[in-house]
Structure 1
């Protein structure tokens, strides 16, 4: 099985997808006139704008739901993997894909808001499947995305998160993976049977706390190693551009692994972020576009960077070339993953480093699994719009619990490979789609900025902008 998964992974994550991710981010940055820079202040202001309603969640809750999907094991184990196979220079390319990807996140999330609708329970639903059908008029394409997303977020991706939790727990306290699996399944079951509002309330409490606590510890380590900061920055940049001779053997891999793990972590363009974005209660779609662009910054520029600086400043990491030969090996016998971060924290704060990272992983990865369930459920809701199939939600819940159990006890390599396939499939389908249907999101940005300049609280009118298919906004 692992051989087949490896072949599929290499096929999906070819250089074409890496070029597509970077190219789309650069293109949207130019088309939006680098809104990720111009609009940074507006992103911050909008975080606390708006309130929760019976149909939708507040903008902050939508951000928390989105971050719960973005901030996961990729921020710890993913960074370690990128450094192992791409060298320290991979961190630079993670930054690049986050900076460019913020504009991509704006486009896909604004489209999700424009084309959202209410389901049978009166809850907002939206995402790529919805805007593909309404803006492109290609229902078959929308169904392919919906099915691919249910498979990816319901079956393939949860196992990666659960596997990292198990590794962290075993390294810190020797907890058997089977015990970890049982705890995760019980906790997850209690939340996913509670609906979107329970998910929103859970994530808005957990996500900010876990991210701030993790970054605080990273800052402590960075402060204690402050003399090494210039060297770490120089190492990252030198490895990215080939001036560090020691990492010349992995120079080409730095781009590949940086982009690959960057997309896995911040999910810009993958098509996951639009699902919680569509659930927000806002007066104008661009508002949630700004907020979701900011979430990419939080994920990669803040949390991933925290992990990278912890690992690199302590010098506790391994780097392998394409043949598997060690270039740097300061942690012999430790596989790329949570162990790097645990060793880094332990070296500065002896006695509780491994436990702290294990707890951080538990929060990061568990909330990501919850977010994956919500995304899969949203696509089930799309499939069920015209024919009610209540059994599909029950099957999804059972399937994601089974996937978590399987992923917890399987090897990390297989879990990551399956996760990469899920991410890659969604990215291919979604990026192609938003490149085709980008115009409404760009119109919404221009309209939002014009209304703000006129001193108004922007309100969206699709007819005035000649945007077809935005039926929700015409009814409200």
Structure 2
């Protein structure tokens, strides 16, 4: 089994996927005219002013939902694994994939908004790659039944998010907790996680959004503050640390220059795993929001990539590198470089624990355990939401409500079993299994959005034109040549006849500006 998992991991994460992620991000950056850099004020504005409705969550709730998926074990243990396998230069490649990936996130999340729909059972907004593949392919290759691609993505996502990926979170969390609190057994943690997760996920998207909006900001801010304290205590090491990162990233460092390939591979791999740009997960939260224009939520989700990688992941990397609490081990053997780690320390969360101990003596293990618990648990909540969304899509032709409910119940039971099993220990296979799930989703999603990217750029052009005219952008897909966006067509008609809550004079229309809710 170990040999098969390793083989599958190498096949999925071949150099082709690494360069596909980087190439797609570069293409979208050029086509969007550097939108992820030039529209940062708009990102913050949409985030602060966005409101919710009975059908959709707010932009802030969607941001925290997607961050709950992005900010997880990968931000603490994953960064350490990247450094241990690819050297300090992997951090630079994580930054590069984040800067380029923000454009990819904009495109996929805008597509998620354009082609979203209402869940006939609950009335809540649903969307994601499966939804936009079906609707966009419907008019991209007329007459060719390529919506099977959407169904394949949905099924793969249910398996990846419901079975493959939760093990990383629960295994890492359980290991950290039992290390910090020896009185705890792994089975106790597994039972507790399953019970609490069950209570939250049964409550639906609104309860999930409320949970993440409360927990994610607190845990992220607290972690960053602690990391800054440690970094300031090692301020004298910052110049050498930054030089080490940049030289290693491009093969110029005397010690790490020979592992440039490892740095690129691990930086991109862990970057994609952490910030999820291109993986196809962000569009699920993006589609659930109440906004007046799809590009608004695309910008918010691009901002989420920055928060995850440039802030949270960087905090972990600086913790580890500034304190020298790392070793690099490649297939060619262990590379020592001023390592302060005790012998025999496994790559992952322990790197961060020992780094924190340099300032908070004896408290590193406990703090990392607590941080990982919040990070990883919120990720589990989001994994379930995305798995449920894709299962809802896959069974959309199932007319029996009883059968639909039974299938959703099966998904809930399966993910709770996986959570419990993962907490019992995955014997080192969790990261490889998770990589396989992430990689397959990234392959399907990036290839797909490269083929159907045009609607996202039409929406961006429309958004820019309305902003230039001083309006609060409102979206009518028919005016920009986007078809099969039925939700937005209905909304535009409601705006025109005055039956939509946001209907009213808009700034720039020539009349007296009316206070319009910016959603």
Fold shared per TM-score above 0.5: yes
Whether contact under 8 Å (1:150, 1:377) holds in the other structure is yes
Report the Cα offset of residue 243 of structure 1: 2.0
Query: How many angstroms apart in 2 are the aligned matches of 1:20 and 1:408?
Result: 33
Q: What is aligned with 2:222? A: 213
1:53-72: CA deviation from partner (whole Å, max 9, x where unpaired): 11110000000100000111
Whether contact under 8 Å (1:163, 1:409) holds in the other structure is yes
Report the Cα offset of residue 223 of structure 1: 0.9
Query: How many angstroms apart in 2 are the aligned matches of 1:111 and 1:251?
Result: 35
Structure-2 change in CA distance of 1:412 and 1:457 (3 Å): farther
Could you list the runs of 4 or more consecutive aligned residues of structure 1 that deviate by over 4 angstroms after TM superposition?
none
Query: How many angstroms apart in 1 are the aligned matches of 2:229 and 2:351?
Result: 17
Q: What is aligned with 1:151? A: 159
Q: What is aligned with 1:471? A: 486
Q: What is aligned with 2:28? A: 28
Q: Aligned pairs, how many?
A: 476
Pick aligned residue for 2:477 from 457, 462, 469: 462
Whether contact under 8 Å (2:323, 2:340) holds in the other structure is no
Q: What is aligned with 2:174? A: 166
Report the Cα offset of residue 51 of structure 1: 1.3
C-alpha RMSD over aligned residues = 1.0
Q: What is aligned with 1:199? A: 208
**Is 1:319 aligned with 2:320?**
no
Whether contact under 8 Å (1:250, 1:322) holds in the other structure is no
Residues 260-409 of structure 1 correspond to what in structure 2 (within 5 A)?
A: 260-328=269-337, 329-331=339-341, 332-388=343-399, 389-409=404-424
The secondary structure found in structure 1 opposite 2:198 is helix
Query: How many angstroms apart in 2 are the aligned matches of 1:22 and 1:145?
Result: 21
Q: What is aligned with 1:259? A: 268
Query: How many angstroms apart in 2 are the aligned matches of 1:345 and 1:434?
Result: 41
Whether contact under 8 Å (2:167, 2:426) holds in the other structure is no
Residues 426-445 of structure 1 correspond to what in structure 2 (within 5 A)?
A: 426-445=441-460
| Structure 1 range deviating more: 456-465 or 171-180 | 171-180
Query: How many angstroms apart in 2 are the aligned matches of 1:177 and 1:351?
Result: 22
| Structure 1 range deviating more: 240-249 or 288-297 | 240-249
Residues 51-90 of structure 1 correspond to what in structure 2 (within 5 A)?
A: 51-90=51-90
Report the Cα offset of residue 412 of structure 1: 5.1
**Is 1:411 aligned with 2:419?**
no
The secondary structure found in structure 2 opposite 1:17 is helix
Report the Cα offset of residue 149 of structure 1: 0.2
1:224-248: CA deviation from partner (whole Å, max 9, x where unpaired): 1111111110010011112211113
Query: How many angstroms apart in 2 are the aligned matches of 1:92 and 1:303?
Result: 14
| Structure 1 range deviating more: 374-383 or 322-331 | 322-331
TM-score, L = length of structure 2: 0.90
Query: How many angstroms apart in 2 are the aligned matches of 1:407 and 1:431?
Result: 29
The secondary structure found in structure 2 opposite 1:333 is coil
Whether contact under 8 Å (1:88, 1:239) holds in the other structure is yes
| Structure 1 range deviating more: 49-58 or 408-417 | 408-417
**Is 1:425 aligned with 2:436?**
no
1:402-459: CA deviation from partner (whole Å, max 9, x where unpaired): 1111222233520111100000010000000100010000011111011001000000
The secondary structure found in structure 2 opposite 1:325 is strand
| Structure 1 range deviating more: 86-95 or 405-414 | 405-414
Unaligned runs of 5+ in 2: 139-145, 492-519
Report the Cα offset of residue 182 of structure 1: 1.4
Query: How many angstroms apart in 2 are the aligned matches of 1:90 and 1:11?
Result: 21
Larger Rg: 2
1:299-325: CA deviation from partner (whole Å, max 9, x where unpaired): 000000000000000101111122343
The secondary structure found in structure 1 opposite 2:49 is coil
Which structure has greater helix proportion? 1
Report the Cα offset of residue 3 of structure 1: 1.3
Whether contact under 8 Å (1:72, 1:364) holds in the other structure is yes
**Is 1:187 aligned with 2:196?**
yes
Query: How many angstroms apart in 2 are the aligned matches of 1:391 and 1:413?
Result: 33
The secondary structure found in structure 2 opposite 1:320 is strand
Whether contact under 8 Å (1:249, 1:321) holds in the other structure is no
Query: How many angstroms apart in 2 are the aligned matches of 1:252 and 1:24?
Result: 20
Unaligned runs of 5+ in 1: none
Whether contact under 8 Å (1:85, 1:250) holds in the other structure is no
The secondary structure found in structure 1 opposite 2:244 is helix
The secondary structure found in structure 1 opposite 2:358 is helix
Whether contact under 8 Å (2:251, 2:258) holds in the other structure is no
Q: What is aligned with 1:130? A: 131
1:270-310: CA deviation from partner (whole Å, max 9, x where unpaired): 00000010000000000000000000000000000000000
Q: What is aligned with 1:223? A: 232
Query: How many angstroms apart in 2 are the aligned matches of 1:411 and 1:330?
Result: 28
Whether contact under 8 Å (2:251, 2:259) holds in the other structure is no
